[in-house]
Chains A and B, each alone.
Chain A
Amino acid sequence: VSENTTNVSSCPQTLKNACFHPLSTALSLCPSENCLSLRKWGKNVTDSFFFFFTPSLLSMENKQNSASFMMMMLTVSFSPFFCFSTQKRAKGQFLFFKVCEHLNLMEKDYFGLTYKDTHDHKCWLDPTKEIKRQIRNSWQFSFNVKFYPPDPSLLTEDLTRYLLCLQLREDVACGRLPCSFVTHTLLGSYTLQAELGDYEVDQPKPLDYMSQLTFAPNQNKDMEEKILELHKSHRGMTPAQADAQFLENAKKLSMYGVDLHHAKDSEGVDITLGVCANGLLVYKDRLRINRFAWPKILKISYKRNNFYIKIRPGETEQFESTVGFKLQNHRSAKRLWKVCVENHSFFRLNAPEPPTKARFLTLGSKFRYSGRTQAQTRVASSLIDRPAPNFERTSSKRISRSLDGASFIFPQFIIYAFTCSFIHFYLFCAFVLFCCMSAFQSSLGVHGENIYVRHSNLMLEDHDKTQDEVLKHQASISQLKRSFMEAPPPSPPQPNQWEKRLTSSPTTTIRVQPHPVVRVWMLMTLRLKEGASGLKVEEAMPVAEEDEPNKRESVSSESESEEEAEYHPNVHVSIAHSEIPEEKEEEEEEEEEVEVHVVEQIPNDTILPPEAPPPNGLPLAEEDSPDAGQEEPKVNGQPMTVETEHRPQVICCTEPPVVKTEMVTISDTFAAQKTEIATKEVPIVHTETKTITYEASQLDGNADGEPGVLMTAQTITSESLCTTTTTHITKTLKGGLSETRIEKRIVITGDCDIDHDEALAQAIKEAKEQHPDMSVTRVVVHKETELAEEEED
């Protein structure tokens, strides 16, 4: 099974000679000294699992030289192995919650899991995304403080404060949080008091014991002596009090909670950008040279490796200004942008901004902070009603310098997760929103009705099923569909001739599974109230459009997924109310402009979308784009639904989207469209071709089976929380009719326990909201289980 892969490369040092058997029955880890066997968790329910351990956990068994926080984790758990099962497609959230659960942590919103990307940069594990999609090669996470509470005394539980202390001790010891000699000694003494209790006069800790502990990056005997001296003065202080004192001092440090990013300013000078609760700080070397408080920032955006902030005009200034910084690469720019979005949301908003709904066509990162804000987490923690949880503070030896020569171990909680078996079980729902429309070369005002409903198999994944299997399974699929159709759908379905043909068609490429496969397809029709009179198309049109796909391809090839995005931090900020309406007015104006622009385009052009892509991606969002500064952070290329009473209702795209634009050139396969498609491997292109076949038959002699001329085709894929939206736009010329077909496919993936009825209903609802002109005509439910795969293999 190709999916059965094991990440052995990411083994920690101590496990170099561990053996991994990606077997579904048993798995054993055999490091040189400690033989750990990990039982399979559950029998057949799930076959993939993560297990967690740390190097220190292993070494703990032979010598106690590295009591780590994992010890704390271990004492929390009765089992030496924190082991649990998960689905292959588990989201980051799952892992995070598991860790918090294990730590008994309730005020978890300040924390997060990090991983190192392929370039060794620390990234936050997105809780809303699948883990395996985020982690490229190293299954190693660390548990870290994500948002440093400006006032730790407001935290409810000592446990939370303790965890914050651990992070800060780490930060201080490695120099990430710089502090003076005096502060080092003070913080060190509180650490000793919290972990060892009162200074024992009778049995003073020898100094060489002290030197095993790391308190500061440039620790010396002098400092150690001072720490001990101060420790004496803390007599009688409880660990919780010592932690609180530690935090009181640490929070005053100027770099407390500042997340640093290296960048260059517009003149190419090396600077450092610091994101914190208050805003964005600009440092040159160690000096602060500028600061942008959140209320001053109107918009944060990135494009390729540039990071931009749009600044509210000052009292004496008239215009907004945009400040740009150059990051090392587009990943760094995106990472910085994300950190800004998250920090702003967490510290400045009352509630997180809802994630941008999967719109018809969107591009750019839709990323928004999805957790609770500080305001929300404070409310939540004020409601915590449990006795203070017991936890054990461990010795600072965890940051022992004796380990591998480094001055500290980073990260704090090291979680190694290995996915061993990929036999998975999941529900796979796919919704196909499908609509086609014709843009007639016509005068407005004449009403006809053209309903084009197409069934697309575009969304099918890799298939290697035989035709027989397909046929064999046809019945169960039809059954599922029928049963769904019988239930009152949100919109009356319109089964028609070609739909029936589809279900019985031998060319249908639905994957055969011995077990129920749930796949949901939803078809929508768009009723076009458009003139049917002038069905004339300029002859030159197809020719002119011929090489457009290639052009676009070149554009799309250089554009990467989510290469740019923007965020308007002030939209919901309660501060500076007076200035916001002004902003909104301006935005509305701009939006109107766009709409007018679009409407004008339609009669003049048979082809949608009307605008050619700019040669080098999109213009600067904040400056050039007409929809810049919209209230909601929309992105370029977003569709405008033009709703004018007497005008054709069309959905068009004002600008070609950039995100993951994948070209599907159909020209070649088009000629073969009438031939039966009966291959074992059904590529997407073929599926598309077949769709057109149906289309021809549906056109009631209008096209007379004439294949029409394909003008352009375009596929856009975008991902959000748990959905993958693929939008496919094809334009064909058929007889005297130019048709632009926009079909949208939403694949919703979820855990096995997802209520697919609910998910479906939700998707239909959303789809209807987005496209009120369309109705759901077809739903296919397709369920997959993984056992099938195994059997087949």
Chain B
Amino acid sequence: MAGLLAKFGHYTHAVVRGIPSSLATEALRSSQSEVDLAKAHQEHAEYVEVLRTRLGLEVVELPADEALPDCVFVEDAAVVCGDTALITRPGAVSRRGETEAMKEALKKLDLNLVEMTDENATLDGGDVLFTGQEFFVGLSKRTNQRGAEILADAFKDYAVSTVPVTEGLHLKSFCSMGGPGLILIGASEHAQKALKTMQQMSNYRYDKLTVPDDLAANCIYMNVPGKGHVLLHTTGDQFPESFKVLEKLTDYTLIAVSGLEKMKVDGALTCCSILINKKTDI
């Protein structure tokens, strides 16, 4: 397991997608709010720049599609682990088209593609938490049992456990991996309950870091050569209390990325990219 853990967080490529103008008005959201499109564009550009320059990733940028207002949230369209990519069947009908461009992009990256063709299955990548040792799949409004089964079939090496998501959009709306064996989790009741479920289901022991704000628990962890542990997190302005908690990660390079506008349409940090490790050294 040491081998797996050591490799956790190593990435070479990232797939992102542009923001369509339709996002401001047509993108799905759980609360009514006005999105400042210009600001959103700026945030996204910043985000991509961090991935490209500070984290040294080769970024594949897909063009935005006006017909797909949510297409910037690429995470939901595919799940990539090792050399295998599962093209999902998003829970929201309006988002099903997003997988097309994603499929092409991942094909070009020479990944083994698995497509979710079952019409009874739905799965959003945002409900999939990969810990390095196993998968947790949130059963939410967007993801169902059948979708989780297909994921389990696609990644046979790993245990796939299901976690009920009672509140929030996705499983990763309140949690993410903060490092090898470290789960960042929101303080809300349903987040803590989900964590308990995950801990019970796992043969492994995970450390947890609870942050006061659920949304702040969604961070991007990377292990960057020369930099070590890197954590992309929401800004301290947005969630000051949570930032204080994250500051305790002393041996980490913390990079704040603003996601204020995207968050208005339920977009968290992990939502906007698919990270791929192409140097699977087998």
* Chain A residues packing against B (C-beta within 8 Å): 178-183, 185-186, 230, 248, 252-255, 276, 278, 284-291
Q: Closest approach, in angstroms, between the C-beta of A771 and any C-beta of chain B?
A: 47
Residue of A nearest to B4 (CB): A252
- CB pair B3 A248 closer than 8 Å: yes
Q: Does B265 contact A (CB under 8 A)?
A: no
Instruction: Taking A253-B157, A290-B200 as given, write out 16 further A-B residue pairs in contact, using a Cβ cutoff of 8 Å, ordered by the A residue number.
Output: A182-B280, A183-B156, A183-B157, A186-B282, A252-B1, A252-B157, A254-B160, A255-B159, A278-B203, A286-B149, A287-B149, A287-B152, A287-B160, A287-B161, A291-B200, A291-B203
CA A766 to CA B195, docked complex, whole Å: 52
Residue of B nearest to A296 (CB): B200
Partner of B156, one of A178, A276, A284, A288: A178
In the bound complex, residues from chain A placing their C-beta under 8 Å from that of B203 are: 276, 278, 291
Q: Does B213 contact A (CB under 8 A)?
A: no
Q: Count the B residues whose beta carbon is within 8 Å of the partner chain — how many? A: 30
Mostly helix, strand, loop or mixed at chain A's interface?
mixed
CB under 8 Å from chain A, chain B span 27-86: 82-84
CA A672 to CA B122, docked complex, whole Å: 79
CA A285 to CA B83, docked complex, whole Å: 24
CA A182 to CA B156, docked complex, whole Å: 10
Residue of B nearest to A230 (CB): B282
In the bound complex, residues from chain A placing their C-beta under 8 Å from that of B82 are: 180, 182
Partner of B84, one of A178, A180, A186, A284: A180
- CB pair B282 A288 closer than 8 Å: no
12 of the cross-chain contacts (CB-CB < 8 Å) are: A180-B84, A182-B112, A186-B282, A252-B1, A252-B133, A276-B203, A278-B203, A284-B145, A285-B152, A287-B137, A287-B152, A288-B161
CA A253 to CA B200, docked complex, whole Å: 19
In the bound complex, residues from chain B placing their C-beta under 8 Å from that of A253 are: 156-157
In the bound complex, residues from chain B placing their C-beta under 8 Å from that of A284 are: 145
Q: Closest approach, in angstroms, between the C-beta of A252 and any C-beta of chain B?
A: 6
Q: Closest approach, in angstroms, between the C-beta of A273 and any C-beta of chain B?
A: 14
CB under 8 Å from chain A, chain B span 118-167: 133-134, 137, 145, 148-149, 152-162
Q: Closest approach, in angstroms, between the C-beta of A181 and any C-beta of chain B?
A: 6
CB under 8 Å from chain A, chain B span 153-203: 153-162, 200-203
CA A181 to CA B145, docked complex, whole Å: 23
Q: Closest approach, in angstroms, between the C-beta of A516 and any C-beta of chain B?
A: 58
Partner of B153, one of A186, A248, A252, A286: A286
- CB pair B160 A286 closer than 8 Å: yes
Q: Closest approach, in angstroms, between the C-beta of A255 and any C-beta of chain B?
A: 8
- CB pair A180 B156 closer than 8 Å: yes
The verdict on A291 contacting B201 (CB below 8 Å), with A180-B82, A180-B84, A286-B152 known, is yes
Residue of B nearest to A253 (CB): B157
In the bound complex, residues from chain B placing their C-beta under 8 Å from that of A288 are: 159-162, 201
Residue of B nearest to A282 (CB): B201
- Could you give, for residues 1-35 of chain B, a 1 whenever the CB lies within 8 Å of some chain A CB and a 0 otherwise? 10110000000000000000000000000000000
Q: Closest approach, in angstroms, between the C-beta of B59 and any C-beta of chain A?
A: 25
Residue of A nearest to B162 (CB): A287
Q: Closest approach, in angstroms, between the C-beta of B201 and any C-beta of chain A?
A: 5
Q: Closest approach, in angstroms, between the C-beta of B142 and any C-beta of chain A?
A: 17
The verdict on A290 contacting B201 (CB below 8 Å), with A180-B82, A186-B282 known, is yes
In the bound complex, residues from chain A placing their C-beta under 8 Å from that of B280 are: 182
CA A181 to CA B148, docked complex, whole Å: 19
CA A178 to CA B134, docked complex, whole Å: 14
Best-surrounded residue of B4, B156, B201 (most CB of chain A within 10 A): B156
* Chain B residues packing against A (C-beta within 8 Å): 1, 3-4, 82-84, 112, 133-134, 137, 145, 148-149, 152-162, 200-203, 280, 282
The verdict on A289 contacting B159 (CB below 8 Å), with A181-B84, A182-B282 known, is no
In the bound complex, residues from chain B placing their C-beta under 8 Å from that of A276 are: 203
Residue of B nearest to A183 (CB): B157
CA A592 to CA B256, docked complex, whole Å: 65
Partner of A289, one of B3, B156, B161: B161
- CB pair A254 B159 closer than 8 Å: yes
Best-surrounded residue of B145, B153, B159 (most CB of chain A within 10 A): B159
The verdict on A254 contacting B158 (CB below 8 Å), with A182-B83, A182-B280, A288-B201 known, is yes
In the bound complex, residues from chain B placing their C-beta under 8 Å from that of A278 are: 203
In the bound complex, residues from chain B placing their C-beta under 8 Å from that of A179 are: 156-157
CA A181 to CA B84, docked complex, whole Å: 9
CA A286 to CA B137, docked complex, whole Å: 12
CA A252 to CA B203, docked complex, whole Å: 12
Best-surrounded residue of B155, B202, B282 (most CB of chain A within 10 A): B282
The verdict on A180 contacting B161 (CB below 8 Å), with A287-B145, A287-B149 known, is no
Residue of B nearest to A289 (CB): B162
Best-surrounded residue of B145, B149, B153, B161 (most CB of chain A within 10 A): B161
In the bound complex, residues from chain B placing their C-beta under 8 Å from that of A255 are: 159
CA A329 to CA B154, docked complex, whole Å: 33
In the bound complex, residues from chain A placing their C-beta under 8 Å from that of B134 are: 254
Residue of B nearest to A256 (CB): B157
CA A264 to CA B223, docked complex, whole Å: 43
- CB pair A181 B112 closer than 8 Å: yes
Residue of A nearest to B199 (CB): A291
Instruction: List the 7 closest A-B pairs by CB distance, nearest first.
Output: A254-B159, A286-B152, A288-B161, A178-B156, A278-B203, A180-B156, A180-B157
- CB pair A285 B157 closer than 8 Å: no
CA A236 to CA B152, docked complex, whole Å: 36
In the bound complex, residues from chain A placing their C-beta under 8 Å from that of B83 are: 181-182
In the bound complex, residues from chain A placing their C-beta under 8 Å from that of B112 are: 181-182
Partner of B149, one of A182, A248, A252, A285: A285
Q: Closest approach, in angstroms, between the C-beta of A698 and any C-beta of chain B?
A: 65
CA A230 to CA B280, docked complex, whole Å: 13
In the bound complex, residues from chain A placing their C-beta under 8 Å from that of B156 are: 178-180, 183, 253
CA A287 to CA B202, docked complex, whole Å: 12
CA A284 to CA B152, docked complex, whole Å: 11
CA A541 to CA B42, docked complex, whole Å: 97
In the bound complex, residues from chain B placing their C-beta under 8 Å from that of A285 are: 149, 152
In the bound complex, residues from chain A placing their C-beta under 8 Å from that of B1 are: 252
Residue of B nearest to A233 (CB): B282
CA A230 to CA B282, docked complex, whole Å: 8
In the bound complex, residues from chain B placing their C-beta under 8 Å from that of A291 are: 161, 200-203
Residue of A nearest to B153 (CB): A286
In the bound complex, residues from chain A placing their C-beta under 8 Å from that of B3 are: 248
Residue of A nearest to B81 (CB): A180
In the bound complex, residues from chain B placing their C-beta under 8 Å from that of A185 are: 282
- CB pair A287 B155 closer than 8 Å: no
Q: Closest approach, in angstroms, between the C-beta of B132 and any C-beta of chain A?
A: 11
CA A255 to CA B1, docked complex, whole Å: 15
In the bound complex, residues from chain B placing their C-beta under 8 Å from that of A248 are: 3
CA A187 to CA B280, docked complex, whole Å: 15
Residue of B nearest to A178 (CB): B156
Partner of A180, one of B133, B137, B155: B155
Q: Closest approach, in angstroms, between the C-beta of A783 and any C-beta of chain B?
A: 54
Residue of B nearest to A189 (CB): B282
CA A180 to CA B159, docked complex, whole Å: 12
Q: Closest approach, in angstroms, between the C-beta of A334 and any C-beta of chain B?
A: 26
CA A276 to CA B202, docked complex, whole Å: 13
CA A284 to CA B146, docked complex, whole Å: 11
In the bound complex, residues from chain A placing their C-beta under 8 Å from that of B157 are: 178-180, 182-183, 252-254
Residue of A nearest to B203 (CB): A278
Residue of B nearest to A184 (CB): B156
CA A291 to CA B134, docked complex, whole Å: 14
CA A289 to CA B198, docked complex, whole Å: 10
Q: Closest approach, in angstroms, between the C-beta of A117 and any C-beta of chain B?
A: 30
Q: Closest approach, in angstroms, between the C-beta of A182 and any C-beta of chain B?
A: 5
CA A289 to CA B202, docked complex, whole Å: 11
CA A278 to CA B161, docked complex, whole Å: 16
CA A297 to CA B214, docked complex, whole Å: 33
Q: Closest approach, in angstroms, between the C-beta of A309 and any C-beta of chain B?
A: 14
CA A444 to CA B153, docked complex, whole Å: 72
Residue of A nearest to B83 (CB): A182
Residue of A nearest to B3 (CB): A248
CA A182 to CA B81, docked complex, whole Å: 11
